[in-house]
Amino acid sequence: MATAHHRKKQPEQVRRALLDCVAKIAAEQGPVAVTIQAVAEAAGVTKGGLLHHFASKQALIEALFADLLERLDRDIDRHMSADPVPAGRFTRAYVRACFADRAVGETSLWAAVSVTLISEPELRRIWGTWIDGHLKRHRETDDTPALAIVRLATDGVWLDDLLRQDARPDRDLGTLEPVLLAMASAPA
């Protein structure tokens, strides 16, 4: 008998390895390089093993995006817990998390997934549900036009960087973050 049949199954570890591999491939080679075969080989599993966890390439990409949103949630929660001022707390945490974790570059996972986000209706739906849920949850403290402008400006900085990725802009994005944070801290 083959020893593979007696190996202890660790589905969460396999799933995590698959997500890590798809993230690495997407960040280093772009979303077009993400194939079932490439991810399976990188993770050291069979295509059937991958398909046991994710029914398709689309399901794999969606799971990666959900994983990224969970990381963003953790970062936002961490920033919110350190912010003693309720008004605008979510918006300031969003700005901080976006500037810290969405840095665009040749190996940016957010950049790789975002290219797909723009063209994939299901990923746009997932993003829309995520952001709408947060805005609803924080309506009492973050539902002003000024705070909406700050969040949209933050998204604009990130999108501009994504679109100018190859041009490698010389501007210092670090100077924009404090301005946006100050705007998010101003009285309504």
Tens-digit pLDDT profile for residues 45-87 = 999 989 999 999 889 988 988 988 998 899 999 999 999 999 9
Query: Mean of the pLDDT values across residues 1-29?
Result: 75
The CATH number assigned to the domain with range 3-185 reads 1.10.357.10
Backbone phi and psi for residue 35, each to the nearest 5 degrees, phi listed first: -130, 160
C-alpha distances (whole Å) from 114 to each of 6, 101, 124, 141, 165 are: 41, 13, 10, 28, 12
Q: What's the confidence (pLDDT) of residue 181?
A: 96
pTM for the full predicted model:
0.81
Q: What's the CA gap between 44 and 157, in Å, rounded?
A: 38
Helices (H), 2-56: 11-29, 36-43, 47-53
Query: Mean of the pLDDT values across residues 100-127?
Result: 71
Lowest-pLDDT range, 31-35, 115-119, 125-129? 115-119
Q: What's the CA gap between 168 and 119, in Å, rounded?
A: 23
Q: What's the confidence (pLDDT) of residue 93?
A: 97
- Residue-averaged pLDDT of the chain: 84
